[in-house]
Amino acid sequence: MMDSQRRTWLIATGAATCVAGVATAVPFVESMEPSAKAKAEGGPIEVDISQLRPGEKMTILWRGQPVWFLRRTPQMLASLNITQSLVADPLSKRTQFPTPPWAQNQWRSIKPEYLVVVGICTHLGCSPVDRFTPGPQPSLPSDWQGGFLCPCHGSIFDLAARVFKNMPAPDNLVVPPYHYVNDRKILLGEHKA
């Protein structure tokens, strides 16, 4: 399976050091470690995204929640045109799990290339799994374009973390506050226009 070969990074930023279940972990990257103060306070943290390669996802544990950073390839971005009519709320206008206005767009992010979302299903809180490889496979539609599958009750999300129509999950995955400090760094936990 392609997915299991992809590098997946998990960086623990809180007290929790839950690394179980990660198929492949690369050595801890020092520059991504937030300051001890930010850890203690659960305040905004700087995340270095410069080492993410196209198609790779990194997970940061922040305020006890997994936050995903996915660097989308042009093909991944193109898939959002196909899923546009298949998802329940293509422009993230629903209010149960509100999406910030600056992410109410097709790619649900500031820069199309990088998706930043909380990796917790809006149904009952399971963590969806990566299913980036397009094509037919178990538990997914035959015209699958790549995205995420929640193993608990089968909700599926596209590569902008938009939930498909008629799924148990009532909404898209949550976009946390963040902004770009520069091209290589994101400040997670605070949005600045």
CA distance 151 to 48: 29
Q: Where does this chain touch ligand FES (CB under 6 A) — which range of 93-101, 102-110, 118-126, 175-183?
A: 118-126
The reply to whether 152 sits near ligand FES by the rule CB under 6 A is yes
Cβ atoms 38, 44 nearer than 8 A: yes
- The strand order across the sheet containing 129-131 reads 129-131, 147-149, 156-157
Least distance (Å) between residue 84 CB and ligand FES: 22
Retrieve residue 1's tokens.
């399976």
Q: Which amino acid is at 71?
A: R
Among 126, 164, 177, 179, binds ligand FES (CB under 6 A): 126
Cα separation, 186 vs 82, in Å, equals 28
Question: 11 or 150, CB closer to ligand FES?
Answer: 150
Q: Hey, what are 28's tokens?
A: 């801890």
Question: Quick one: 153 or 184, whose CB is closer to ligand FES?
Answer: 153
Strands 57-62 and 45-48: unpaired
Q: Is 25 in the site for ligand FES (CB under 6 A)?
A: no
Q: Which is nearer to ligand FES, 12 or 152 (CB)?
A: 152
Note whether 121 binds ligand FES by CB under 6 A.
yes
Q: Is 85 helix (H, G, I), strand (E, B) or coil?
A: coil
Tokens coding 96: 């149960």
- Distance CA(108)–CA(128), nearest Å, equals 17
CB of 170 to ligand FES, least distance (A): 10
CA distance 41 to 171: 29
Binding of ligand FES by 66 (CB under 6 A): no
Q: Where does this chain touch ligand FES (CB under 6 A) — which range of 39-47, 88-96, 108-116, 148-156?
A: 148-156
**Closest CB to ligand FES among residues 34, 128:** 128
Among 123, 171, 186, 189, binds ligand FES (CB under 6 A): 123
Say if CB 109 and CB 103 are below 8 A apart. yes
Q: How far is the CB of 66 from ligand FES (least distance, A)?
A: 14
Interacting residue ranges for ligand FES, rule: CB under 6 A: 121, 123-126, 150, 152-153, 155, 168-169
